[in-house]
Structure 1
Amino acid sequence: MVKLIALILLFTGSKAFTQPLKELTLQQAYDFARANYPLLQQKDLINKSAFLTIENISTAFLPQVTVSGQATYQSEVTKIPISLPGFSIDPLSRDQYKLMADINQLLYDGGVTKTQKDIQQVNSLVEQQKTEVELYKLKDRINQLFLGVLLLEEQKKQTLLQRNDVQLGLNKVTAQVANGTAFKTNKLVLEAELLKNDARQIELDANRKALLDVLQYFTNKNFWGDIHLILPTLGTAYTDSVERPELQLYALQDSLLTVQNKLISARNKPKTSAFVQGGYGRPGLNQLMNDFNFYYIGGIKLSWSLGSLYTTKRDRQIIAVSHQTVAVQKDLFTLNTDTQLAQQGNEVEKLEQLITVDNKIITVREAVMQASNGQLENGVITANDYLREVNAADQARQNLVTHQLQLTQAKLGYLNILGKL
């Protein structure tokens, strides 16, 4: 038995054994889809990359050690042209050797290292926010799947209502045919409509299953076949500030440019460091001694590179242009967002008005259908006439369901544009 379970797990995966969900809210669908979306892993990678880069930058203040060596042969060496009785100075050897170790400790770099670390930190936030922008787009896809399933469920309910109406008429016509007061063709027409209704239900069930399958892939969850999808309660007031992740992205991009501007100033400042050089060779520091010897030199070094001054003005101009570019992108986003909000707001108003009219139409159509039901029973109208009124009432109900779901979609779309989902 254990082996059988192991084989089932091997071929079907552990997902099949997770407890299927019997109900799912829209917010849960957002959360599950976000946690399962591969792009979310990119945020962790960005953090790791930023951490490693900052660690590398921090090594600038660690002692820098360089080891070098050389062996040379000179065609001529320094000689002291002095000859004294009983005293002689040996000439230097023409083959000379050096083995050296240089240790440099940076003391002050004008703030370059700190600014570079700040740039990496802000750049990490920028890249993470770009990921958030892409993840936010996932909500719109979940909305379409979620509402698509609900629309198909409502359409099936209306289809079942239509079937009941057709069945009611069929029962009456069947009795009339048995009594010889109606033609059999009337019965066949209603029976054909029932088969058409069955085919419609099969189509709706298949489409619902297809959308739920896609939703399961996005959320990485198992669903019961009759899972209950729950929409949030949506209000009627939709005037609020925009809180989209794109706005945070523009703010971070501006911050990054500001820090990059500080780096330009830091690179123009002088730098100081301490150094120690130790070595072993022939000759040592005393050039008059022709023996191998140890030696060392220590001190403080000041350096100031003036070459960057030539490009400082243009570098700052480039930063200023980049700031303007971000401002233009933000203005364009704001314009597009305001336009979308206006369009979506008008769509909400239109659908609310259509729903009011739909309810009135349904009242009238159902009254006409009830009247035609009595006429069919009395043989005043044919089955085709009755079906026409049944289908008209059904279409009115279908229109109401469609407009109600479209209204929900429009409200969710409005909130999505605001960044409130």
Structure 2
Amino acid sequence: MKRILLFLVILTAFPAIAQQSITLEECYNSVTQNYPLAKQSSLLETQNTLEAAVISTAKLPQLSLDAQATYQSDVIEIPIASANIDPLNKDQYRATFSVNQLIYNGGATAASLAIKSAELKSKQKQVEVSLYQLRQQINQLYFSILLAQESNLLLKSKQTQLEAKLKEVSSGVKNGILLPSSDKVLEAELLKIGQQFKEIESNKLTLIETLSSLIKQPIDASTEFKNSLIKIHVQKELIRPELELFQYKKDEIENSENLISKQNVPKLLGFATGGYGNPGLNMLDNSFQPFYIAGVKLHWNVFDWNANQKQRQSLAINKDIVDNETEVFKLNTTIELNKQQREIEKIEAIITSDEAIINLRKEVLQMADSQLKNGVITSSAYITELTNLYEDQNTLVRHEIQLQLAKANYNVIKG
């Protein structure tokens, strides 16, 4: 029973002590979902719904209430004395309630709604573009943290090697084989390593805090940053959200052209007006009376001084501007891709050289280790060779991280 309880305690505690890990792709997803700008997408959709509802009211009956009281200096009189018709009052009163119903406007309402839909897509895609452009900043932070993480591991390896060597040297000093100060040199180097640990951890913590703020996700110093092998995207065409944004802008222009083409279409409306006033529709009846009017009305703007045509020409120029922006973007992106490709090739060549240098450094260190045991060289000379190997290994790690960063940036640029 005790064993079962102990197992349950360990099982319950395990998630709390398990080391958290994170990948580059998770950082991309987090910034897309959690960055404050991401909230604009839903806000824009809500705003568009409200604006579309306003436009759709054009299909509904338009109701209006009017009332007026007037006094006029003169009124119509019947110039026949025997007609026995009372003259109109100079003070007159009228209250009316009118209903206007749009019957046909050539699809202008639908065209306006299409524009709003196109505007929403453009604005939401602009938000996506802005979020996508954060990826290179995430790359820089992520791989800088990864470099600090790998440098820390290398430094631990150097520390372990020095501690083991210190035991050997201390034994040699006691036995009179090595100089009395040999162990002190190694101890001083271990103290320097302790300082380097603190510097690496401080820099790493600063980078982690910056990345955590950017992606709005808690990350602590114990989090493991996965060093997954980055593969270059092989597709030939660019797949960038900016290209979709340019297309949405063109769609928006085309919808505007469609709306303009419907502005001069005849509009047919039905109307009805009911009222109560003095006089009513019968001007000869000098009393308060109800009245109503019902009918249809046609409105057609026959000539607009070519304003419609000029608006279309302006929109055509806007479309050409968007095409030009697309061409410029593709050109600049291709240039950036070529530069990044050259950077990748350069780093790969340097890494090959780094590996050859490290192999030579290891051979030199082996000889220095043997010479130190035999008292041929001092601890300082041994530390020099060990430091040279460590620095070259650190250089290799830095170049490997730079290669991963260059590939990640290449993928971001290509989309």
**TM-score with structure 2 setting the length:** 0.90
**Which one-letter code corresponds to 1:110 in the other structure?**
G
Q: Distance in 1 between matches of 2:16 and 2:266?
A: 64
Opposite residue 349 of structure 1, the aligned amino acid is E
Please report how far the alpha carbon of residue 187 of structure 1 lies from its aligned counterpart in structure 2 after TM superposition: 2.8
Check if 1:266 corresponds to 2:262: yes
Paired letter, 2:263: R
Instruction: Give distance in 1, aligned partners of 2:19 and 2:164.
Output: 37
Which residue of 1 is the match for residue 66 of structure 2? 68
Deviation at 1:23, TM superposition (A): 1.9
Task: Give the count of matched residue pairs.
Answer: 401
In structure 1, the partner of 2:404 is: 408
| Structure 2 CA distance for aligned equivalents of residues 227 and 390 of structure 1 | 30
Alignment of 1:55 with 2:76, yes or no, is: no
1:212 CA displacement: 2.6
8 Å contact kept, 1:19–1:222: no
1:146 is aligned to 2:153: no
Aligned to 2:43: 45
When residues 115 and 286 of structure 1 are mapped into structure 2, their CA distance, relative to the original with a 3 A threshold, is same
Change (3 A) 1:185 1:202: same
Q: Aligned equivalents of 1:231 and 1:181: distance in 2?
A: 45
Shift, 1:374, TM fit: 0.7
Q: In structure 2, how many angstroms separate the alpha carbons of the residues matched to 1:322 and 1:18?
A: 58
The alpha-carbon deviation at position 263 of structure 1 amounts to 1.4
- The answer to whether the Cα contact below 8 Å between 1:20 and 1:221 also exists between their aligned partners in 2 is no
Amino acid at match of 1:391: T
CA displacement at 1:95 relative to structure 2: 2.2
1:377 aligns with 2:373: yes
Please, which of 28, 33, 46 is the counterpart of residue 35 of structure 1? Answer: 33
Which stretch shifts more, 376-385 or 291-300? 376-385
| 8 Å CA contact retained: 1:21, 1:221 | no
How many Å separate the matches in 2 of 1:356 and 1:394? 17
CA spacing shift, 1:231–1:370, aligned 2, 3 Å: closer
Tell me the equivalent position of 2:89. Answer: 93
Residue correspondence of structure 1 range 106-145 to structure 2 within 5 A? 106-145=102-141
Equivalent residue, structure 1, for 2:158: 162
- Is the Cα–Cα contact under 8 Å of residues 21 and 223 in structure 1 kept in the other structure? no
What pairs with 1:18-417 in structure 2 (closer than 5 Å)?
22-84=20-82, 88-223=84-219, 225-235=221-231, 238-306=234-302, 308-417=304-413
Deviations 1:262-285 (A, max 9, x none): 111111212110111212112221
Report the Cα offset of residue 373 of structure 1.
0.9
- 375-384 or 389-398, larger mean C-alpha shift: 375-384
> Does structure 1 retain, via aligned residues, the 8 Å contact 2:67–2:94?
yes
Task: Output the CA distance in 2 between the equivalents of 1:324 and 1:135.
Answer: 27
CA distance in 1, matches of 2:229, 2:370: 41
Cα deviations by residue, 1:386-410 (Å, 9 ceiling, x for unpaired): 2221111111111111111111111
Question: What do you get for the CA RMSD once the two structures are aligned?
Answer: 2.2
Q: After TM superposition, give the deviation of residue 364 of structure 1 in Å.
A: 0.7
Q: Tell whether the 8 Å contact from 1:66 to 1:102 is kept in structure 2 after alignment.
A: yes
Is the contact between residue 21 and residue 224 of structure 2 (CA under 8 Å) also seen in structure 1?
yes
- Per the normalisation by structure 1, the TM-score is 0.89
**Compared with structure 1, are the counterparts of its residues 390 and 100 closer, same or farther at alpha carbon in structure 2 (3 Å cutoff)?**
same
Corresponding letter in the other structure for 2:35: Y
In structure 2, distance between residues paired with 1:18 and 1:289: 93
Q: CA deviation at 1:220?
A: 4.0
Task: Give unpaired runs (5+ residues) of structure 2.
Answer: 1-14
